[in-house]
Amino acid sequence: MFEPGTVVTIPRNLTDYVVTEYGIAHLRQKTLRERAQELIAIAHPDFRAGLKKQASELF
């Protein structure tokens, strides 16, 4: 059991799934662009438009 506020990290190449209250993103064996799209899809709806804009500028 971790204390509240504890930061837990994992290298991005080992991350298979990310789960939020808005869905599940399957990331294994995806390109950076695909990973960004998967994560945006499960982000809070208020932030998705801004994240899509930033992703389109990066890719």
Question: Per DSSP, which regions of 1-59 are E strands?
Answer: 17-20, 23-26
Write out pLDDT tens, residues 13-45: 889 999 999 999 999 999 999 999 999 999 999
How far is the first Cα of the chain from the last one, in angstroms, to the nearest whole number? Answer: 38
Instruction: Specify the pTM.
Output: 0.80
pLDDT number for residue 34: 96
